[in-house]
Amino acid sequence: MASQATKYFYLCSSRGTVASVNEKFMSHQQSRQPDARIEVTKDGPYLVSGDLPLSEQWIVTNAEGESLEYREGKKYPAQPQYALCRCGQSANKPFCDGTHKKVQFDGTETASHKPYLQQAETIEGPTMVLTD
């Protein structure tokens, strides 16, 4: 079976565990990085401060698109602060190069604020019902 990989960027912990940016940010906030901060700028990048390291993680999938495993990618050194691209157009990903201004990126949040069960799709299987 052919496999594909989807790249994600994660802020790293010293233990090398995989977690989302929010989970990693919170763990640093609660432990050894009380000055760690992630700011979402209006129509611009994420501004990260507090010496947080950054790494790439790949989710490897099979031909059907099912997730198989995480694969470790490039690790970036911790920096006092950096700007992460949010528009997807930077030539220097994961870092911002200012392209969001050229492409007039609209960073308005569009996620629903409804409770999970009010917005989830119900998927009925032979032995259980899933919500997604």
Residue 41 CA to residue 12 CA, distance in Å, equals: 22
pLDDT digits (tens, 9 = 90+) for 92-112: 999 999 999 999 999 998 888
Tokens, residue 35: 């000055």
H helix runs in the chain, sequence order: 21-30, 99-102, 116-119
Structure-block tokens of residue 37 = 């901060």
Look-up of token digits 């977690």? 19
CA distance linking residue 102 with residue 68, whole number of Å: 37
| Domain boundaries, given as residue ranges, for the chain | 4-131
Instruction: Say yes or no to pLDDT of 29 above 60.
Output: no
- The 10s digit of each residue's pLDDT in 110-132 is 888 889 889 889 999 899 998 88
Distance CA(72)–CA(74), nearest Å, equals: 7
Residue 54 CB neighbours (<10 A): 21
Length of the chain: 132
Question: Mean pLDDT over residues 26-52, rounded?
Answer: 78
CA dist 117 and 124 (Å) reads 15
21 CB neighbour count, 10 Å cutoff: 17
As a whole number, mean pLDDT of residues 47-66 equals 90
Range from 21-25, 53-57, 99-103 carrying the lowest mean pLDDT? 21-25
Considering only CA atoms, give the Rg of the chain: 18
User: What is the identity of the amino acid at 45?
Assistant: P
Residue 20 reports pLDDT greater than 70: no
Enter the tokens of residue 112. Answer: 């629903």
What's residue 113's pLDDT? 85
Mean pLDDT, residues 5-26: 46
Confidence of residue 11 (pLDDT cuts 50, 70, 90): low
* pTM, rounded to two decimals: 0.61
Residue 15 in this model has a pLDDT that exceeds 50: no
